[in-house]
Amino acid sequence: MPMTGQYEPSRADWVAQQVELYERTGGAEGGTLQGRPVVILTTRGAKSGKIRKTPLMRVTDGTRYAVVASQGGAPTNPFWFHNIMADPHVSLRDGTVVRDYVARRVEGEERRKWWAMAVETWPDYEEYRKRTDRDIPVFVLEPSS
Ligand code: F42
């Protein structure tokens, strides 16, 4: 069931612009960061209830995706983290494909597995980890039945 509601672009212009470019070109433009693939996560605003869209690195096992709330190693979690915690029903655009998922925060061995996959995709995640005392949340997105 696709997420419905009013899309509220990020106040961060570069985020809003990348989302617009990605969606308009199906990821042909705005679909990479330093040559690594990017996806667009859609969440429901925890406070606004509006549709929010966030570019994130693409981490996948082919069926499921992981999203890493690194925010560059900032001391605080990103807003989209709070959105998922309030409502785990999300959608994710990978290129031209948009699907619905249920996000599940992972810990322990499962987190270690996905973290290793994430670092393989985007090695800077390790730098972000060293920059903060925050335990960087990792969510696995399971396809909605
Ligand atoms: N960020 C990551 O954390 N992980 C990544 O893997 C990642 C990859 C990536 C690749 C390309 C790129 O261009 C950016 C990338 N980023 C990555 C940065 C990411 O796109 C976000 O900018 C960053 O994670 C911060 O997320 P954020 O949700 O805090 O976004 C800010 C900039 C934002 O959009 N704020 C909105 C605004 O208008 O100011 C509000 C967003 C929102 O959801 N508001 C909630 C609501 O209710 O509407 C309120 C939530 C609350 O609890 O207050």
pLDDT tens across 23-75, in order? 999 999 999 999 999 999 999 999 999 999 999 999 999 999 999 999 999 99
- Binding-site residues, ligand 1, Cβ < 6 A: 10-12, 15, 18, 33, 38, 45-48, 50, 52, 54-57, 68-71, 78-80, 82-83
Number of CB atoms found within 10 A of residue 119's CB: 17
Residue closest to 57 by CA, chosen among 123, 133, 142: 123
Closest atom of ligand 1 to 50 CA is 48
Number of CB atoms found within 10 A of residue 13's CB: 9
* Ligand 1 centroid to residue 105 C-alpha, Å: 17
From the number of C-beta atoms within 10 Å of its C-beta (0-12, 13-18, 19+), residue 72 rates as exposed
DSSP string over 97-123: EEEEEEEEE--HHHHHHHHHHHHHH-T
pLDDT score at 1: 65
Give the residue-averaged pLDDT of 13-27: 97
Closest atom of ligand 1 to 46 CA is 47
- Please report, for residues 76, 137, 143, the alpha-carbon distance to residue 82 in angstroms, rounded to integers and kept in the order given: 11, 11, 20
